[in-house]
Structure 1
Amino acid sequence: MLDSRLYHHLVTWLGQWPAGQRLHVVSSERRVRPGWDGERHPVVGVGSRAGVVLSVPPTHLAAVRALGDLVVDEVLDELPRVLDLPGWSGYRAVFRYTVAPTPGPDPGEWVDAADPGLPSWLRPFGGEVLVIRDEEGRYLAGVGVKRHDGYGHELAVGTEPAARGRGLARRLVAQAARRVLDEGAVPTYLHATENVASARVATAAGFPDHGWTLYALAPPPPGPPRSP
């Protein structure tokens, strides 16, 4: 049985869940509003073995559905053209979630994302982030929380190269997942299919691979020339 928090997260984030067919294209106003990072995320989809729900802007629902009986990968490749997003590209990731993170100690501390001693990649998360420092107070590893809605929070982890191989990432991810659950949401975790290290962290932290996939569009890399 699907956890109620995950169900409500997917309904809120995508506009519908579950899929009513192999590829179910739906629309949501969330595709035209700022997301967790203040940026627009015009396409988000989640697929399970039962089918894929692909969420697009309401203004483009008919055009995407008009692509016809294509598989999701083919539709994803067509979306930059259909949505008039030149330079954007489709990407896929393994979508994981947990309601039973790996038990263990809580080695990290929650600090403000604006703390001057943190790396720049943690700042966009806002609120509090979870970090581990060494005995001299130097940052070693951290977890940011993408607070998509009140039901689902996505975790992202990073470890300094010199601190890798100590199990810091898996301990932090499990600790952050326990807090997300305590706050009433479900923790999720994404990683590229080929990212073996991230997959190992997820599994060790208690995020099993259910065979689910995340589908989205990525903007072009920064730097001129760039489309608005």
Structure 2
Amino acid sequence: MVEASEPVHRDDPHAGSLHAKLNWLRAGVLGANDGIVSVAALVVGVAAATTDLAAILVAGVASVLAGAISMGLGEYVSVSSQRDTERALIAKERYELETMPEQELAELAGLYRAKGLSAETAERVAAELTAHDALAAHLETELRLSRDDVANPWHAAGASALSFLVGAVLPMLAILLPPPEWRVATTFLAVIVALAITGWLSAWIGESPRLRAVLRVVIGGALALAVTWVIGGLLGTAL
């Protein structure tokens, strides 16, 4: 993990790969957070309406499965669109290199001049990188892309669904294991602690203020649970 005192710069040759890894880690934390809140809100609402353990279990399992499928499918569609765009950009760059190599070389040199290199150095660097791997040079410098880092929608979908399932385990255990009179309180406490941890992790990964991130997710999660608990209690009384 990169320390806060040593930020990752985009010009660092390892920055793209590290940035992608941090994005994956953050997505995993957010997916787990979603699993915690959505499943906990549902089972707390059901528990407020009834003490029937079977009803709570069925609702919870349905919520876990539906949520994991929804997260995975949504991530697959999103990353598939991203992958198609990246492939189209790579194909376009390859075509331009084949049909107008001199213009592309001049463009690459111009990009290096814009980074602060002298005209002579920029032209020499552009020529050497073009001779080594013209496509890679243009993708990295012009588009911040790499042929090896094209997004994989299956990996993204699996990671998203798995992180949701991991997060959903906590509220399911918290609502099912205690006796009826402790179910809601135990779930509230477990969810608040878990959200505080995921909020801190998310802020740590993004190197943003920890307290603000923790308060944001904890307050939001607590409100979600409170609303479903009140609604479940009202419906349970009415029925």
What TM-score bracket applies, with the shorter chain setting the length? under 0.3
Bigger proportion of residues as helix: 2
Compute the TM-score of the two structures, normalised by the length of structure 1: 0.20
The structure with the larger Rg is: 2
More strand by share: 1
TM-score, L = length of structure 2: 0.20
Which of the pair has the greater relative contact order for Cα pairs under 8 Å at 6+ separation? Answer: 2
